Every structure is written in C-alpha cells, then in structure tokens.
Chains A and B, each alone.
Chain A
Amino acid sequence: DTGVSQDPRHKITKRGQNVTFRCDPISEHNRLYWYRQTLGQGPEFLTYFQNEAQLEKSRLLSDRFSAERPKGSFSTLEIQRTEQGDSAMYLCASSLAGGAAANEQFFGPGTRLTVL
C-alpha cells in the first residue's frame, strides 16, 4: 500500500471558478477526513466520512464546499465560486474506525490551492 494520495498536488484558479480535489485513502481504512491548513497554522478539521456516510462537518465548511465519498473509497472535495480566502493547503487523512485507531490518522501530501 502506498499510503494516502491526493490529486492534484497544486491548483491555481481564478476567483469565482469551481475546483474539485480527489483523495484516495489507505485501502483498508474506512474513515476519511478533510482538513484545511493556512500559512503558518496547523491543520483545521473540515469534515469526515465513515464509509460513504458524512458524519460531521465543521462550521468552517461553508455552503460553497461539498464533499462526497460515493462508494466508501475515494473522496472528492468541491469548492464552488472560489474566493481568495480559500487559498490554503487541503489535506486528506484516513484511519480505521473506533477508539484510539480512529485518532491515528495518516495524511496525504495535500493539495495546494491558490485563488487569484
């Protein structure tokens, strides 16, 4: 297994455009998480899935953000009508479910979004 992968690694877009990121978790992990990291800060939790069910969303996740995990494997994070404040690193992580194992999260390399 090659770990968590994310695509693309970098995305530059103009304000108002829509963007979509993909995350492929570690294959045996049924939990998948999205975090956002801005410059000089630690990652902040956005949302997470257990299998295909989205179980929690942070208030950081505005109506312009939507995440899916349709078959309980890969996930997509879409941002509609991007704003300059959306510029950040978007990190995906995965874990097993339940107790301590759910907290041991393995992170992908991230997608760096720049909104011009």
Chain B
Amino acid sequence: AQSVTQPDIHITVSEGASLELRCNYSYGATPYLFWYVQSPGQGLQLLLKYFSGDTLVQGIKGFEAEFKRSQSSFNLRKPSVHWSDAAEYFCAVGANDYKLSFGAGTTVTVRA
C-alpha cells in the first residue's frame, strides 16, 4: 500500500520569501503525485500533478513541484509567497486506479 509523509506540520514564511514544502512517498512503482491546497473550511483545490515525463511540473498560482525518484520525493515550491497562500497543503499519491492516499498536511502561515 502506498503512503505519504509530510515532515513539516507547520511552516511560517514572510510575504515575498520563497516556500518549499516537503513530501515523501512510499510506493512500489511510479505513482501519480498531486499537491492540493485547502483553505479553512473549504474543499481541496488541485495545484499540480505528476503522471510521467518532465520531472519538474508547473501548477496554478505560481507553484511548481519536482519529482525525484531516487529520493521518493515530490517537493512543492513557490519563489515568492503572497499572503493569500496561507492555507493547508496536502501531498497525495494515487495508485490502484482509484484511491488517493494523502499526507497529514502542512499548514503555511504568511507573515507581513
């Protein structure tokens, strides 16, 4: 069975600074990888996905993520954070054609 670890529970970053969120997965084959964002009391919005091909993927809102097979990682980055990026971020892995497995999430706080 696949699993996802997000080592950072909470990250605080200054507005305009860069952001990197870590994600490690466990799965026997090449997984489908996703990053979702969730604002308080809301559902999940897909930021970006990796299925195959180029290991650096671009998403919405200026986010990008890099798939590193050797490290079983799929870290999310943004060069310059805006106050509106404050939210909870979830990494997810898809396999077996139907079920997504999520990490516990990283809460991002943006200070002025």
Give A contacts to B, CB under 8 Å. 4, 6, 31, 33, 35, 40-45, 48, 55-56, 91, 98-100, 102-110, 112
Residues of A within 8 A of B32 (CB): 100, 103-104
| CB-based contact A56/B99 at 8 Å | yes
Residues of B within 8 A of A44 (CB): 102
Q: How far is the CB of B85 from chain A (nearest CB, A)?
A: 19
Q: How far is the CB of B52 from chain A (nearest CB, A)?
A: 8
- Classify the secondary structure of B's interface with A: strand
Q: Tell me the number of A-to-B contacts counted with CB atoms below 8 Å.
A: 64
Stretch at the interface among B13-21, B35-43, B55-63, B64-72: B35-43
CB < 8 Å neighbour of A56 from B49, B98, B105: B98
B83 within 8 A of A: no
CB < 8 Å neighbour of B99 from A45, A99, A108: A45
Interface size of B by CB at 8 A reads: 25
The CA-CA distance from A43 to B100 in the complex, in Å, is 9
Residues of B within 8 A of A100 (CB): 32, 51
B97 within 8 A of A: yes
Residues of B within 8 A of A4 (CB): 43
Q: How far is the CB of B14 from chain A (nearest CB, A)?
A: 25
Residues of A within 8 A of B98 (CB): 31, 33, 48, 55-56, 102-103
The CA-CA distance from A104 to B98 in the complex, in Å, is 9
| CB-based contact A43/B42 at 8 Å | no
| CB-based contact A91/B97 at 8 Å | no
B101 within 8 A of A: yes
The CA-CA distance from A6 to B41 in the complex, in Å, is 13
Residues of B within 8 A of A102 (CB): 94, 97-98
| CB-based contact B99/A91 at 8 Å | no
Q: How far is the CB of A75 from chain B (nearest CB, A)?
A: 15
Residues of B within 8 A of A42 (CB): 4, 90, 92, 102-105
Residues of B within 8 A of A107 (CB): 36, 43-46
